[in-house]
Amino acid sequence: MSFLFGSRSSKTFKPKKNIPEGSHQYELLKHAEATLGSGNLRMAVMLPDGEDLNEWVAVNTVDFFNQINMLYGTITDFCTEESCPLMSAGPKYEYHWADGTNIKKPIKCSAPKYIDYLMTWVQDQLDDETLFPSKIGVPFRKNFMSVAKTILKRLFRVYAHIYHQHFDSVIQLQEEAHLNTSFKHFIFFVQEFNLIDRKELAPLQELIEKLTSKDR
């Protein structure tokens, strides 16, 4: 969770998305942080007894956005138009941006441009009260889970880009433990609720097997 990063550099790529204190979602986030603190990530991602799956996915999606926001914020100096003219995850995987609204036909763009589009788009979804209701008793839309899956699938691409293109910088900044813990938590979460197709995870399949094999 975001608390892993403590009071270190708080540079983020986009403004942090806060969950309102005192809300039920805030309590859920605190529960998640407490179980994460126990060190058992498989247990930490499980749906708490009596809780709503949509709400649990919503709280964790916001938190993963904040984590990736922070992780990418640490390496923005290294991810430039010159160093990353394409949004890729190794030589085999290249991503083109489309959001279905402003940009309907996928476009080729640099990694910083793609990630800017992506994080802005995610932020817009998280800020939409009809999609991510913060008030108790407001129901989730019927298409909530499919939107959440798209958000998580796209956030995965930022992890994939960082690992493939910027891991040397991550090591140089001594951020690898944070990156690995955050990504492991993310993978356990999407595996627990089957939120990302296996083929989408292919760019980091070896790493996923390595990180998760110890916890089977």
106-141 residue pLDDT tens: 999 999 999 999 999 999 999 999 999 988 778 999
The binding site comprises 79, 84, 161, 166
The binding site for Zn(2+) comprises 79, 84, 161, 166
**Looking at per-residue confidence, does 33 or 8 come out higher?**
33
In degrees rounded to 5, what are phi and psi of residue 106? Answer: -55, 135
CA-wise closest residue to 1 among 62, 75, 72: 62
Show me where the domains of the chain are located: 24-213
Does the 24-213 domain belong in CATH 1.20.140.30?
A: yes
**Dihedral angle over CA of 119, 120, 122, 127, nearest 10:** 140
Q: Around Cβ 8, how many Cβ atoms within 10 Å?
A: 11
Q: Is the pLDDT of residue 197 over 80?
A: yes
pLDDT tens digits for 145-167?
999 999 999 999 999 999 999 99
Share of the chain above pLDDT 90, in %: 70
Q: Is the pLDDT of residue 3 over 70?
A: no
